[in-house]
Amino acid sequence: MTVFVLAGIVVLAVGGCVCVVWAARGGPRWVRAAATTTLVAGELARKAGRKDRSRSGSSGESSDE
């Protein structure tokens, strides 16, 4: 069951990437809407990842420097 869920997530991610490329080339309105949704979801995931890293690295030491 877990394999099917992960496969579904991968299919949605690949489909979103295809929509972003197609929308950049002037695709139909529904493709542009799907591309916008994909880009917003990516930004939300990126911001959530930054929050998690800042909480776990609150000891004052940074591994980025």
Residues 18-57 pLDDT 10s: 999 999 999 999 999 999 999 999 999 999 888 777 766 5
pLDDT value for 35: 95
Contacts of 49 (CB under 8 A, 6+ apart): none
Are the CB atoms for 61 and 42 separated by under 8 Å?
A: no
Supply the pLDDT for residue 62: 53
Q: Tell whether the model's pLDDT for residue 10 goes beyond 60.
A: yes
**pLDDT for the residue numbered 18:** 95
DSSP 65: -
Predicted TM-score of the model (pTM): 0.66
| Residues 34 and 18: beta-carbon distance below 8 Å | no
Q: What does R_g of the chain's alpha carbons equal in angstroms?
A: 16
| pLDDT at residue number 65 | 47
Decide: helix, strand or coil at residue 46: helix
